[in-house]
């Protein structure tokens, strides 16, 4: 019986440690998410559009990164582009011209 007790106790300790770890991760995400979500869509849009229009809107909106904002809504940042923002918040449906209109690009 003693041989079985030790693994059981170890298991409980491991499970508790995992629970604490998960709680810590959730706490961290809960702390950081409001800061990032605090950036409004319009402010992200204007900074990305500014970048794009400064080069005369050459190239695709899909090549302009929207830094520090989850534009495509997949829960992570860094793989997000202006086209995603145009699609998700301005109903552009992968249309580059629609994104140009959103940004007020010169024709
Ligand atoms: Ca993303």
Q: Are 93 and 40 in contact (CB under 8 A)?
A: no
Query: pTM here?
Result: 0.63
For residue 12, the CA-to-ligand 1 centroid distance in Å is 36
The full set of domain ranges for the chain reads: 1-38, 41-103
For residue 106, the CA-to-ligand 1 centroid distance in Å is 28
pLDDT > 70? residue 21: yes
pLDDT digits (tens, 9 = 90+) for 41-99: 999 999 999 999 999 999 999 999 997 899 999 999 889 999 999 999 999 999 999 99
For residue 34, the CA-to-ligand 1 centroid distance in Å is 16
**b or e along 27-66 (b: 16 or more beta carbons within 10 Å of the residue's beta carbon)?**
eeeeeeeeeeeeeeeeebbebbbeebeeeebeeebeebbb
For residue 84, the CA-to-ligand 1 centroid distance in Å is 9
């Amino acid at each position: 019986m003693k041989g079985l007790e030790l693994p059981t106790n170890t298991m409980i300790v491991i499970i508790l440690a995992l629970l604490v770890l998960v709680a810590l991760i959730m706490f961290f995400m809960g702390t950081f998410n409001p800061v990032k979500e605090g950036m409004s869509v319009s402010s992200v849009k204007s900074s990305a559009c500014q970048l794009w229009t400064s080069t005369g809107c050459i190239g695709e909106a899909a090549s302009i990164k929207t830094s520090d904002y989850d534009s495509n809504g997949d829960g992570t940042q860094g793989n997000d582009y202006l086209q995603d923002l145009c699609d998700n918040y301005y109903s552009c449906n992968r249309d580059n011209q629609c994104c140009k209109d959103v940004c007020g690009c010169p024709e």
